[in-house]
């Protein structure tokens, strides 16, 4: 099956930013989307927007740190649309600061969301993909894992762990039934920086996002490109960033 039309796609972190843009992009191309995030009110508003445009959408409050939430997201897709073609694991958080600050709570939070949350999605969707004989994992990583800079050691570490995980899964799944895609955005105008604890770092990052950042729609189009390839074609890695980003 090529193209997005008719595919069933579950998306985590769908209430804003890249996740929201991806939901709108794929629904506009004819996919049925199953949307998960913690902010149920924003999910409901997004689904209403998709429905008003003639699209198909289901929503479910999801915290990716809870394995059962991912199981319910996958089950919702299968129950409502009889299958799941793609899982877009987009939920993520960023906490920055030197390792020497020993902000262990932030380390734990990033590991739980950025890495464990992806693993929970794989654990929930992989049996469905195997049963169907087809499935696609698309995961938002980051250019922070490609260019290592001070202050982002643990954040970049979680993203590179996911990159490694998906590559190993790809090598374990070369029977043609499973595809994996890592998408590494650079500066994108999202809410990610709004949750950085240090005020100075938060302001600096927000300024750079505002000055350099590309629209989440650009990343959504890249994700759609990977999904729309024929089943025998895998787009393993996509790096998408502003032309002015170092």
Does residue 17 surpass a pLDDT of 90? yes
219 vs 229: CA distance, rounded Å:
16
pLDDT of residue 190: 74
| pTM of the predicted model as reported, rounded to 2 decimal places | 0.92
pLDDT tens digits along 53-106: 999 999 999 999 999 999 999 999 999 999 999 999 999 998 888 999 999 999
Catalytic residues: 155
Cα angle for residues 2, 64, 182 (degrees, 5° grid): 40
- Structure confidence by residue, pLDDT tens digits, 34-56: 999 999 999 999 999 999 999 99
14 lies in a domain?
A: yes
Q: Which domain holds residue 26?
A: 8-240
Rounded CA separation 223/229 (Å): 11
Q: What pLDDT does residue 208 have?
A: 73
Compute the mean pLDDT over every residue in the chain, rounded to the nearest whole number.
93
Q: Quote the number of domains for the chain.
A: 1
Which secondary-structure segment (H or E) carries 35?
Answer: strand 32-37
The contacts of residue 44 (CB under 8 Å, 6+ apart) are 59
Is residue 1 predicted with pLDDT exceeding 60? no
CATH code, domain with 61: 3.40.50.720
How far apart CA 143 and CA 134 sit, in angstroms, is 29
Rounded average pLDDT over 135-142: 97
Whether residue 1 lies inside any domain: the answer is no
**Which pLDDT score, from 0 to 100, does residue 193 have?**
63
% residues pLDDT > 90 (the chain): 82
Band (246; pLDDT cuts 50, 70, 90): confident
> For position 141, what pLDDT does the model report?
97
In a domain, 3, yes or no: no
In a domain, 246, yes or no: no
């Amino acid at each position: 099956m090529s193209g997005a039309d008719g595919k069933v796609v579950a998306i985590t972190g769908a209430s804003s930013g890249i996740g929201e843009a991806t939901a709108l992009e794929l629904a506009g191309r004819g996919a049925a989307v199953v949307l998960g995030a913690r902010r149920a009110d924003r999910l409901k508003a997004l689904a209403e927007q998709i429905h008003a445009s003639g699209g198909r959408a289901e929503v479910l409050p999801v915290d990716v740190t809870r394995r059962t939430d991912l199981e319910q997201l996958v089950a919702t897709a299968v129950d409502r649309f009889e299958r799941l073609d793609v899982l877009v694991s987009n939920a993520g958080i960023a906490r920055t600061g030197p390792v020497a600050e020993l902000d262990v709570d932030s380390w734990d939070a990033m590991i739980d969301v950025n890495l464990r949350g992806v693993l929970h999605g794989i654990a929930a969707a992989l049996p469905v993909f195997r049963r169907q004989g087809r499935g696609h994992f698309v995961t938002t990583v980051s250019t922070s894992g490609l260019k290592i800079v001070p202050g982002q050691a643990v954040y970049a570490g979680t993203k590179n762990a996911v990159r490694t995980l998906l590559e190993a899964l790809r090598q374990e799944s070369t029977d043609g039934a499973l595809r994996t895609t890592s998408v590494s955005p650079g500066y994108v105008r999202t809410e990610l920086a709004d949750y950085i604890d240090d005020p100075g770092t938060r302001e600096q990052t927000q300024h750079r996002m505002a000055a350099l950042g590309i629209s989440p729609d650009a990343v959504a189009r890249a994700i759609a490109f990977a999904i729309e390839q024929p089943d025998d074609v895998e787009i393993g890695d996509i790096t998408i960033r502003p032309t002015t980003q170092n």
